[in-house]
Chain A
Amino acid sequence: MLRLEGQLERWLTSQPEYRMGYQKVVATLSSGAVESGFVVNSEVFLTEGEAGNSPWQMFYPDWDDVAREAAKSSLRVVKAALIPRDQKSLRGVRRIAVSNEKFSVLASRSRQRADISAGTRSLEYLEEYRQLQAKASDAGAEPAPVTLTTVGEVFKRFSPYAKDRRVTVGRGLVPHTFGTTKEDADANVRTGADAVSRYALPSSKPASNVFTISPPQDTELKRGTVQPANNQPGGGVEVIFVNGSPDGTVTGPVVIFDR
């Protein structure tokens, strides 16, 4: 775990991420050695061995601890060559989903404006809301094309029920079961009530049971954005396991706080 030269930190901040929160690089160290690894938060370099498969899976109670740990070494990363992500793995569906999520957010904003406005202005905002809502409505996972999972991708499923019937006896998933990405869950869901809101669940009970799904590479999946429904705003990432997930790929549930 190493710090980067200040200039390199600034440069990396302006460069594309490999995935959420990190960049993949070939780093040249101040000793002249060359190492492959990841730069997390444009700030700390981890070798591939230190990071494991997914840098965001590291658990540190405090980011400052990570930075302090990295600063203990006199070595610095002085140069980094970015390894871009394979364009094929940035599936078009994801780009569509993100694009439609934008309309979903804008629609929600127009709705709020309509609620606090009066007369003609309110009607204008309502019309704007309806138009944006229509654009966003194509974003759900159901109409999306089938894509494939990549190596090491992890998904989450939130349920009010510890005994989720979509989870098979062999700890797999039955076909056409919904979930979300680990990234979306980690970044947005702290409680069962958060899950109900983000994934627009109809349940009056918090979805506090969290299942983790680690499907093999090339598992068939549809990806999209949760549309507002069931009096909930939605906005989360939703995936559908088209043919389910094989036995032995589901763990949990881990129980999170209800609220």
Chain B
Amino acid sequence: MTTVRLSEEWSRRLVQMPESGMGYQRVDVHLKDGRVIRNLMVLNAEECQTEEPFGPEEIADIELSES
């Protein structure tokens, strides 16, 4: 499990979105190369836990997971 530190811009955006539980959000991360990594945990709107490593600069969009 790798932790990706999100940029301040993404953190600010995530803070505006609902939490999934106390202190965390479950998200889908869309990468610029078209990949979508689903159901990742983001803690405190800043630390994204993933088993499929990516760089913070590769992120095109983040949205809350539906499940």
Are A166 and B21 in contact, with the CB atoms below 8 A? no
Stretch at the interface among A11-19, A82-90, A172-180: A172-180
Q: Given A158-B22, A160-B23, A178-B23 in contact, is the A202-B15 Cβ separation under 8 Å?
A: no
CB contacts (< 8 Å) of A203 on chain B: these are: 23-24, 43
Look across to chain A and name the residue whose beta carbon is closest to the beta carbon of B42: A202
Q: Given A159-B44, A160-B43, A164-B44 in contact, is the A201-B22 Cβ separation under 8 Å?
A: yes
CB contacts (< 8 Å) of B18 on chain A: these are: 175-176, 240
**CB of A72 closer than 8 Å to a CB of B:** no
Look across to chain A and name the residue whose beta carbon is closest to the beta carbon of B26: A202
Q: How far is the CA of A166 from the CA of B19 in the complex (A)?
A: 9
**CB of B50 closer than 8 Å to a CB of A:** no
Q: How far is the CA of A159 from the CA of B46 in the complex (A)?
A: 13
CB contacts (< 8 Å) of B44 on chain A: these are: 159-161, 164-165
Are A199 and B21 in contact, with the CB atoms below 8 A? yes
Are A226 and B15 in contact, with the CB atoms below 8 A? no
5 pairs across A/B with beta carbons < 8 Å? A166-B19, A176-B19, A180-B22, A199-B21, A240-B18
B residues neighboring A (CB under 8 Å): 11, 15-19, 21-24, 41, 43-46, 49
